[in-house]
């Protein structure tokens, strides 16, 4: 390889330079401190595991499996995977490593790796931060998780103009089950819903059992009152459909009460990660951003692969996405060279104040410190920090 190409990085992988790295690190610390204040315990998970552990999300794992880099372990000869999502790892901890009776709350932060960029996010190495709650199937748990997610985004300084989307896979899933649809038809419907292709949906559902209900689900996906009016009595009387509807409506009401100024939208046919989630789904968006700031939902039974199926709900975000566009000037105080006790004391005191102090070396001068903003000078026998 020519030396001119040795500094190049793979597509979807990038360095994070000091001005943005400082913002991201401060955000990470604030976010984890906030989650700790809400009772979420920090865990660290390994960057690489046996592929069986990382593939614990049953049918949903087809997408996750395609996103996972795989290598052969030179010690055991077994197949290893580089984590593409930390949720399965936290589920393993809850189910097998740290078995808590009752509700368990965990949080995490770390880099994950994807074989290809996921969605609108162009990076293949997101810095994932998230929280998971195990052991409760109540609406209160979902409401708590959404509230925690919104407060975390508020901690990041992003409140104005944000939009919360709520959905529930149970509506579509129960209707598919009642209609007895095969997997192919189910996938076609899901695609039509995702594309909001109402004319195609109207034509496609004409020959389906409960076709008018499938069409109503897409036509009135954002209006629960209108949906209730247009769904047939038989479908609305179905226990699973009614439960999903009530959960969605109650969650909307409770979040609106906690966040009266928040813009909340409903989309019952937002079926991202449809096979992964088992109930409520939620995502937060900001103006002029295609990728969600954070997203999550309910995924009951996730620990079954490890021998302990538990109700679970959680969310995650990419700190790179959450901090996009934010840069922070790094203040650098330059101190003269020397070992005089008063100078060394002044340097230590300045650092204790939270400032970065660089002491000159050898024959260096101010020009030797790029982007220096301040200097430590002796004024009438007293060391002071002055702006350059």
pLDDT at residue number 58: 44
Condensed to tens digits (0 to 9), the pLDDT of residues 169-216 reads 999 999 999 999 999 999 999 999 989 999 999 999 999 999 999 999
- 132 a known binding residue? yes
The chain-wide mean pLDDT, for the chain, equals 91
* pLDDT at position 4: 63
CB 110 within 8 A of CB 285: no
- Summarised one tens digit per residue, pLDDT across range 111-131 is 999 998 877 667 899 999 999
325 has a pLDDT exceeding 80: no
128 labelled ligand-binding:
yes
Given a cut of 80, whether residue 240 has pLDDT beyond it is yes
Pick among 3.40.50.720, 3.30.930.10, 3.30.1330.10, 3.30.450.20: CATH of 162-284 = 3.30.930.10
| pLDDT tens digits, one per residue of 36-77 | 999 999 999 999 999 887 765 544 557 778 889 999 999 999
Determine if residue 386 is labeled as part of a ligand binding site. Answer: no
The confidence score (pLDDT) of residue 1 equals: 58
Contact between residue 84 and residue 54 where contact means Cβ atoms under 8 Å apart: yes
Per-residue pLDDT of 28-44, as tens digits, reads 999 999 999 999 999 99
Q: Is 203 annotated as a binding residue?
A: no
Give residue 160's pLDDT.
82
pLDDT category of residue 3 using cuts at 50, 70 and 90: low
Considering only the top CATH level, what class is 8-159+291-327? alpha beta
CA 186 to each of CA 59, 177, 267, 275: distance values in angstroms, whole numbers, following the listed order: 14, 10, 18, 11
Q: Check whether 1 is labelled as a binding-site residue.
A: no
| pTM of the entire predicted model | 0.88
């Amino acid at each position: 390889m020519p030396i001119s190409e040795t500094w190049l990085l793979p597509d979807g992988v990038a360095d994070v330079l000091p001005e943005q790295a400082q913002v991201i690190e401060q955000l990470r610390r604030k976010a984890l401190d906030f989650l700790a204040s809400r009772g979420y315990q920090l865990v660290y998970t390994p960057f690489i595991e046996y592929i069986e552990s990382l593939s614990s999300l049953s049918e949903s794992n087809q997408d996750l499996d395609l996103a996972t880099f795989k290598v052969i372990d030179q010690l055991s000869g077994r197949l290893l995977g580089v984590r593409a999502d930390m949720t399965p790892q936290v589920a393993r901890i809850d189910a097998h490593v740290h078995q808590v009776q009752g509700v368990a709350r965990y949080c995490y932060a770390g880099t994950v790796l994807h074989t290809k960029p996921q969605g609108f996010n162009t990076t293949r190495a997101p810095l994932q931060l998230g929280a998971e709650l195990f052991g409760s199937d109540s609406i209160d748990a979902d409401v708590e998780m959404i509230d925690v997610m919104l407060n975390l985004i508020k901690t990041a300084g992003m409140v104005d103009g944000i939009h919360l989307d709520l959905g529930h896979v149970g509506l579509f899933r129960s209707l598919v089950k009642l209609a007895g649809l095969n997997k192919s038809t189910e996938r076609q419907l899901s695609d039509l819903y995702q594309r909001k292709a109402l004319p195609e949906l109207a034509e496609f559902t004409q020959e389906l059992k409960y076709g008018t209900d499938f069409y109503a689900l897409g036509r009135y996906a954002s209006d629960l009152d209108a949906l209730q009016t247009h769904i047939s009595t038989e479908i609305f009387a179905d226990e699973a459909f009614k439960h999903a509807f009530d959960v969605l409506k109650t969650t909307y009401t409770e979040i609106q009460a906690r966040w009266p100024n928040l813009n909340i939208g409903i989309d019952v046919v937002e079926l991202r990660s449809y096979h992964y989630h088992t109930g409520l789904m939620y995502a937060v968006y900001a103006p002029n951003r295609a990728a969600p700031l954070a997203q999550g939902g309910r995924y009951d039974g996730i620990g079954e692969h490890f021998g302990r199926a538990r109700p679970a709900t959680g969310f995650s975000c990419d700190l790179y996405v959450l901090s996009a566009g934010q840069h922070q000037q790094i203040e650098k105080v330059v101190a003269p060279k020397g070992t005089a006790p008063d100078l060394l004391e002044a340097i230590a005191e300045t650092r204790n104040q939270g400032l970065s102090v660089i002491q000159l070396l050898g024959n260096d001068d101010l020009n030797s410190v790029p982007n220096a903003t301040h200097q430590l000078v002796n004024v009438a026998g007293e060391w002071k920090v002055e702006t350059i």
